[in-house]
Amino acid sequence: MSSVLHCGRFRLSLDRPLIMGVVNVTPDSFSDGGRFLDGAAAIAQARRLLAEGADLLDIGGESTRPGAAPVSLDEERRRVLPVLEALVGDGAAVSVDTQKPELMREAIVCGAAMINDVNGFEAPGALEAVAGSEAGLCIMHKQGTPQTMQSQPAYEDVVAEVAAYLGSRAAAAVAAGVVGGRIVIDPGFGFGKTLEHNLALLRGFEDLVAAGWPVLAGLSRKSMIGALTGREVGERLAGSLAAALMAAGRGAKILRVHDVAATRDALAVWSAVR
């Protein structure tokens, strides 16, 4: 496996897990909905996360929480691009969380270092939108759509099925012309998965890592943490840190988190002992 992630004009070492700070420019995200809908508030939050030690940022303009309503291209563009432009101007490595090929293209023109697609670049034209660029790709697994995904998720063997899907989408990206060093895979915790499925994926994380692609883990504040601790979304930091460290211990290369400073401290202790 390449120990360097190639994303846009950045070359990020994967010798230690990277911290990706989440900025949701949305009214309805499960974790922080509405707090950063205003562009200036989103930019300020992103700068705070960078100061806390985020290696890259992930900006999203469409919530993917279970039951979330889809957002038009115009609205998503209006939310994301001004924030992206400001952060690129700061010199930050910025990922854009979108499923829309048009926005992928525009984001790359604006300087996005990575495109994070919870739809695994399955939309017609999505792989083509990124292939000719230097942007990194985060290819995520989900079952169903945000509208339906938590109704009845079902797998025979969740780890094997998720690994097979991610392997085939990574191969499709390579076939479309993406060099391997730009690809990251992600099992998509909470996206069409029960608590048991999420736990099985975390237990079996090393099987995902074994495929050779850097693996991203997005566990921060998710409902599985709530289910295990009985905590509301704003009180899930301790549970999220435990999950992040378990993912890191099993080989995760990028941790997608809302609480950058705390994750950084937890990783500092973990990596000193490792």
Which residues are annotated as catalytic?
A: 222, 256
136 binds ligand HH2 (CB under 6 A): no
218 binds ligand HH2 (CB under 6 A): yes
Residue with tokens 């435990």: 242
3-class secondary-structure state, position 67: coil
Of residues 105 and 222, the one with the C-beta less far from ligand HH2? 222
Among 188, 192, 214, 239, binds ligand HH2 (CB under 6 A): 188
Q: In whole angstroms, how close is the CB of 60 to ligand HH2 at the nearest point?
A: 5
Asked if 124 and 113 count as a contact pair (C-beta separation under 8 A), the reply is no
76 binds ligand HH2 (CB under 6 A): no
Counting every residue, how long is the chain?
274
3-class secondary-structure state, position 59: strand
Structure tokens at 17: 């897990």
Torsion of CA 113, 119, 123, 126, to 10 degrees: 10
End-to-end Cα separation, the chain, in angstroms: 20
- Stretch of residues binding ligand HH2 (CB under 6 A), selected from 28-36, 42-50, 195-203, 232-240: 28-36
22 binds ligand HH2 (CB under 6 A): yes
Contact map string, positions 225 to 264, toward ligand HH2, x by CB under 6 A: -------------------------------x--------
Closest CA to 116 of 263, 14, 234, 256: 256
Asked if 118 and 191 count as a contact pair (C-beta separation under 8 A), the reply is yes
Of residues 60 and 214, the one with the C-beta less far from ligand HH2? 60
By CB under 6 A, name the binding residues for ligand HH2: 22, 24, 26, 29-31, 60, 63-65, 97, 116, 118, 138, 140, 186, 188-189, 216, 218, 256
